[in-house]
Structure 1
Amino acid sequence: MESYCILCLPSAVASFLLIASSSLSFSHSSSLLGVHPLDEKYYSSQFIKCKDGSKSFSRDHRLNDNFCDCSDGTDEPGTSACPAGKFYCRNLGSKPQFIVSSHVNDRFCDCCDGSDEYDGTIHCPNTCVMGGNAENMYGNYNSKASDQGIFPGKEAKDEAKSEESVYNLNGLKLAIILQVVLVVFLVFLWSFRCHTRYRRRRSR
């Protein structure tokens, strides 16, 4: 009977991986789509200026409306409307990355968390905990911010790097906690079911 319970464990681990992937994917829905955490404050006001200073737009009516109002892509961080835009993949449990906006909803999984394919046309499994797609990295936030003039000073770049490290560490901690809790729960659940079946057979 003990050998039977051991055979139950692979199924429990498989179930855990599915649940963990879903949990990590869900965390993105509560955040501003395609925006780096350090830029979220920039989008917090009702009226937002294009980063190149060309114009301003309403957050509720123009942000991610699939129409490019800012030539630099400020108003469309989560769509492919602006050719110069960049989409930020959070990739909790792996390495965050920027991808060009033309890769958003192009039916190809560029982000290991699948956040770039949110329109439901295809399903992108969350592979961040298993190593992700490191070969598709487009560089970290500091290099992109420097190109866009967001963080022109060395001190600001160091601050961005420090906050990015903290963010990555928190994401990794969350993934590890989910793994431990779910594995313990699933092992307990399967052991209980196996024990129950064994008692039923003995009572017959």
Structure 2
Amino acid sequence: MKSISLLMLVVSVYSAHASFSPLLGVHPLDEKYYEGEVIECRDGLRSFARDRLNDDFCDCLDGTDEPGTAACPLGKFYCKNLGSMPKFIPSTHVKDHVCDCCDGSDEYGGGIRCPNTCIMGGNVEYKLESHDMHTQTSLKGRKEKEVGSKSEDFLLKVKGLKTAIMLQVVLIFLLLVLCLCRRHPKGKRRHARASAGHIVGS
């Protein structure tokens, strides 16, 4: 029992240290990129001092200097999600009081306490009650999109059905015209034969 509680303490200390690391939100393969004292923005337009990394001020338009904050709208935050699938989320989702990473790393700093659901398979949505309206709004938006796409599909099917019916009507009309044209010459031939026989008989 002591070993389990000691392990939990070590994990919580490690996660607390990791959450306040200046490299928060950085993919492990990109950590070397941030080792120098002066770091260049990935787009090559500017550079910034290492102490400006994750300082909540956007120095690089592409978000290179703010991988762990929401300061840059084009930035990406890396969720390590140990025990589940790692992923990138838009940096605008960082510290928005919604747990987007299953390890809760996007809500560091104590504003909201996110349970680590990665061990349970991850991707379990956990949101504060105060954000129920936000959740309902996003669900409503999703439903509206689904209804919109279903109605578009229905309209396309109706248009396709109309086209098929029109083609069938045109084909039936052409067949009728063709049948009438074939009958008409036979009638003319019979009439010609009858009048020829009438002439011969007279």
TM-score normalised by length of structure 1: 0.54
CA distance in 1, matches of 2:64, 2:104: 22
CA distance in 1, matches of 2:14, 2:78: 16
- Secondary structure of 1:129 counterpart: helix
* CA drift at 1:42: 0.3
Indicate if the aligned counterparts of 1:35 and 1:88 stay in contact, CA closer than 8 A: yes
Q: Which residue of structure 2 aligns with residue 39 of structure 1? A: 30
1:32 is aligned with what amino acid?
Answer: L
Say whether residues 1:51 and 2:11 are aligned partners. Answer: no
CA distance in 1, matches of 2:75, 2:56: 12
Q: Which residue of structure 2 aligns with residue 129 of structure 1? A: 119
Indicate if the aligned counterparts of 1:25 and 1:114 stay in contact, CA closer than 8 A: no
2:47 is aligned with what amino acid?
Answer: S
Indicate if the aligned counterparts of 1:87 and 1:98 stay in contact, CA closer than 8 A: yes
Structure 1 residues 25 and 126, CA gap change in structure 2 (3 angstroms): farther
Structure 1 residues 52 and 128, CA gap change in structure 2 (3 angstroms): same
Q: Give the aligned length.
A: 124
Say whether residues 1:66 and 2:56 are aligned partners. Answer: yes
- Aligned-residue Cα RMSD (Å) equals 2.8
* CA drift at 1:28: 2.7
Q: Which residue of structure 2 aligns with residue 89 of structure 1? A: 79
* CA drift at 1:25: 3.1
Of 51-60 and 24-33, more deviation after overlay is shown by: 24-33
TM-score normalised by length of structure 2: 0.54
1:106 is aligned with what amino acid?
Answer: D
Show the 5 A alignment for 1:112-151. 112-133=102-123
CA distance in 2, matches of 1:128, 1:101: 20
Indicate if the aligned counterparts of 1:66 and 1:76 stay in contact, CA closer than 8 A: yes
Structure 1 residues 63 and 23, CA gap change in structure 2 (3 angstroms): closer
- Secondary structure of 2:48 counterpart: strand
CA distance in 2, matches of 1:95, 1:57: 31
CA distance in 2, matches of 1:18, 1:89: 21
* CA drift at 1:38: 0.6
Indicate if the aligned counterparts of 1:21 and 1:127 stay in contact, CA closer than 8 A: no
1:58 is aligned with what amino acid?
Answer: A
* CA drift at 1:92: 1.0
1:41 is aligned with what amino acid?
Answer: K
Runs of 4 or more off by more than 2 Å in structure 1? 14-31
- Secondary structure of 2:33 counterpart: helix
- Secondary structure of 1:41 counterpart: helix
Comparing both chains, which one has the higher relative contact order based on Cα–Cα distances under 8 Å and sequence gaps of 6 or more? 1
Q: Which residue of structure 2 aligns with residue 76 of structure 1? A: 66
CA distance in 2, matches of 1:32, 1:113: 16
Structure 1 residues 141-198: Cα deviation after superposition (integer angstroms, max 9, x where no partner): xxxxxxxxxxxxxxxxxxxxxxxxxxxxxxxxxxxxxxxxxxxxxxxxxxxxxxxxxx
Indicate if the aligned counterparts of 1:51 and 1:74 stay in contact, CA closer than 8 A: yes
